[in-house]
Structure 1
Amino acid sequence: MRFQHSSDIWRDFPELVPGVLVATGITADVSVDDAIAWCAERAADRLETASEGELPAIQAWRRAFSKMGLKPTQYRCASESLLRRFRKEGALPRLHPLIDLCNALSIAYAIPVAVFDIAKISQYVEVRYAAGDETYLTFSGETEHPPPGEVIFADAEGRAHARRWTNRQSGHSAVRDTTTDVLIVAEALHDTARKDVESLMAGLSDELAAGWSMTPPEYTILSPSEPRFEFPV
């Protein structure tokens, strides 16, 4: 199985820095409270001096959304949406320890983090422009068809596992209590993206090892010269 961005995405967004990691042996019975508390404190510190829309990582995604023809205040990247909710409510909802951990890291770094159940993916995931015939399953069970040109996470069967790039994931490959193996992707576009993505992925690997008693998973930072991440199923 593999993960990659299409050559068109690299051409249009050469500043992109993706971090990719695969973790196996995930369960829903661990505590990540300490990590969440640290991330929440860091996010709160950020928001004391600037709104989420003023953070460089979020501004870079807003520019990308505008470039894709999307109104950035109507369609927000996942990290901006999480930061908005955190600012208003002071906390994020608890869903599953792995999702809670990734959401917490996302607000700590202001970087979108996507988590996919590998069992629900067919052969590969490619971030690419939609052809228009792909299917996307919402969390409410409705089927949508992303329009041609929209950036999606697509697999070999034409399923869109995320729409509008980092805006919204699909219910089809969402992490559930039965999930054991996951693909995790963090993407950034701002000036210090490489340093920040590396720090986020290193922290994620350490927290996975601590919480799930596993060997720290190796992660990869992709680039135009090394755009593909391959992993066994």
Structure 2
Amino acid sequence: MRFQHASEIWRDFPELVPGVVRAEGITEDAPVGRALAKYHAIAESRLALSTEGEIPEIQAWRRAFSRMGHKPTQYRCASESLLRRFRKEKSLPRIHPLIDLCNAVSLAFAIPVGVFDVSEISGDLEVRRAAGDEKYVTFSGETEHPAAGEVIFADEAGKAHSRRWTNRQSGASAVSGSTSDVLIITEAMHGSAPEDVRRLTAALTDELSALWSATAPSCAVLSRTSPRFVC
């Protein structure tokens, strides 16, 4: 399969820096507690200095949401939502070891991290603007249709695997107990994004190798001149 951003996304958001990790052999019994504590501590130290809305990584996504026509305090990118909840509750609910790990890394870097079950993706996956007829399945099982022009993660069957770009992931490709093959995507737009996304993808690759010995993770940082990840 291939993952890429449509040319219009690169045109409209030239500061975008995506990172991609593909891993197989995921199970729901990995001992991620120590890793979670490490990344949660980093997030705590950042939030001790400023609120999530003052963090450059989050501010960049707020500007992007405004450019998409969304009120940024109504529709927040995934990392801001996580940071907001973590600041208020001092913890996050445990869901699945891989989701817990990716949420913790997202907290520490303040960058959205999406995890997709590859078995639920039909063909290639592309970040593009919606035509308006794509189907998005909520976590409660309801079906929605993204508005025409909305930025989504779309596969070749017309399934939308996210809404409002990094705002809300679909339940259709969410990680479950039977998931073994995943695509992990992170995207940033702030000034130091090229270096930070490289550090984030390297950190995830190291954690995946350490915690899931069956995995053989591959990763890449994409750009406008090298926009495609093939795996």
Query: Which TM-score applies when normalising by structure 1?
Result: 0.98
Query: Partners in 2 of 1:170 and 1:215 — Cα distance?
Result: 24
Residues 32 and 97 of structure 1 are in contact (CA less than 8 Å); yes or no, is this contact kept in structure 2? yes
RMSD between aligned residues: 0.7
Summarize deviations over 1:147-182 as a string: whole Å, max 9, x none.
001000000010000000000000000000000000
Give the match for residue 22 of structure 1: 22
Q: How does 1:23-62 map to 2 (within 5 A)?
A: 23-62=23-62
Amino acid at match of 2:178: T
Aligned residues: 231
Residues 208 and 214 of structure 1 are in contact (CA less than 8 Å); yes or no, is this contact kept in structure 2? no
Q: Report the Cα offset of residue 67 of structure 1.
A: 0.1
Q: Report the Cα offset of residue 216 of structure 1.
A: 5.4
Q: Report the Cα offset of residue 215 of structure 1.
A: 5.6
Q: Report the Cα offset of residue 224 of structure 1.
A: 0.7
Give the match for residue 161 of structure 1: 161
- Give the SS at the match of 1:149: coil
Q: Report the Cα offset of residue 214 of structure 1.
A: 3.9
Residues 25 and 215 of structure 2 are in contact (CA less than 8 Å); yes or no, is this contact kept in structure 1? no
Give the match for residue 72 of structure 2: 72
Residues 23 and 215 of structure 2 are in contact (CA less than 8 Å); yes or no, is this contact kept in structure 1? no
Residues 206 and 216 of structure 1 are in contact (CA less than 8 Å); yes or no, is this contact kept in structure 2? no
Give the match for residue 117 of structure 1: 117
In the alignment, structure 1 residue 178 sits paired with structure 2 residue 182: no
In the alignment, structure 1 residue 217 sits paired with structure 2 residue 212: no
Query: Partners in 1 of 2:59 and 2:46 — Cα distance?
Result: 14
Query: Partners in 1 of 2:34 and 2:10 — Cα distance?
Result: 36
Query: Partners in 2 of 1:183 and 1:215 — Cα distance?
Result: 12
Percent identity, please: 66
Amino acid at match of 1:133: D
Give the match for residue 193 of structure 1: 193
- Give the SS at the match of 1:49: coil
Amino acid at match of 2:108: A
Amino acid at match of 1:199: R
Query: Partners in 2 of 1:215 and 1:181 — Cα distance?
Result: 9
Amino acid at match of 2:50: A
Instruction: Give ranges in structure 1 of 5+ residues lacking alignment.
Output: none
Give the match for residue 149 of structure 1: 149
Query: Partners in 2 of 1:155 and 1:218 — Cα distance?
Result: 21
Amino acid at match of 2:147: P
Q: Report the Cα offset of residue 213 of structure 1.
A: 1.2
- Give the SS at the match of 1:95: coil
- Give the SS at the match of 1:160: coil
Give the match for residue 7 of structure 1: 7
- Give the SS at the match of 2:48: helix
Amino acid at match of 1:37: A
Amino acid at match of 2:20: V
In the alignment, structure 1 residue 106 sits paired with structure 2 residue 109: no
Give the match for residue 96 of structure 1: 96
Amino acid at match of 1:29: D
